[in-house]
Structure 1
Amino acid sequence: MKKQLIKQPFLLISASVFILEGLMAGVALAQPDHYGAIATSASGGWGYAYDYPTRQQAEQKALRECGKSDCQVQVWFKNACGAVAKSPEGNLGWGWASTPEQAQAYALTECGTGTCKIETWACTTR
Structure 2
Amino acid sequence: MKTLTKKAFVAAVATASVAGGIQIAAAPAANAAVNFGAIAVASNGATGRSWDYPSRGAAERAALNSCGWGSCKVLASFSDGCGAVAQTRTRYQGGTGRSLYAAQRSAISLSGGGSIFVWTCTSGHL
| TM-score computed with the length of structure 2 as normaliser | 0.71
The letter of the residue matching 1:72 is: K
- Find the residue that maps to 2:94 and give its secondary structure: strand
Q: Secondary structure at the match of 2:93?
A: strand
Task: State the match for 1:44 in structure 2.
Answer: 45
Superposition pairs of residues 1-126 of structure 1, within 5 angstroms? 29=29, 30-87=31-88, 89-113=89-113, 116-125=114-123
> What percentage of residue pairs aligned between the two structures are identical?
34
Q: 1:44, 1:107 → 2: CA distance? A: 16
Which deviations, in whole Å up to 9, do the C-alpha atoms of 1:10-58 show, x marking residues without a partner? Answer: xxxxxxxxxxxxxxxxxx9322110000000111111110000011110
Structure 1 segments (4+ residues) deviating >3 Å: none
In 2, the alpha carbon distance for the partners of 1:90 and 1:101 equals 23
Given that 1:93 and 1:109 are in contact with CA atoms closer than 8 Å, whether structure 2 keeps it comes out as: no
What is the deviation of 1:117? 1.3
Aligned residues: 96
Please provide the CA RMSD for this pair. Answer: 1.5
Offset at 1:75? 1.2
The alpha-carbon deviation at position 90 of structure 1 amounts to 2.4
The unaligned stretches of length 5 or more in structure 2 are 1-27
Larger helix percent: 1
Kept after mapping to 2: 8 A contact 1:91/1:112:
no
CA distance in 2, matches of 1:68, 1:120: 17
Instruction: Work out which of the two has the higher radius of gyration on C-alpha atoms and give 1 or 2.
Output: 1
Q: Distance in 2 between matches of 1:93 and 1:44?
A: 12
Show structure 1 runs of 5+ residues with no match.
1-27
The TM-score normalised by the length of structure 1 is 0.71
- 1:93 and 1:112 in contact (8 A); partners too: no
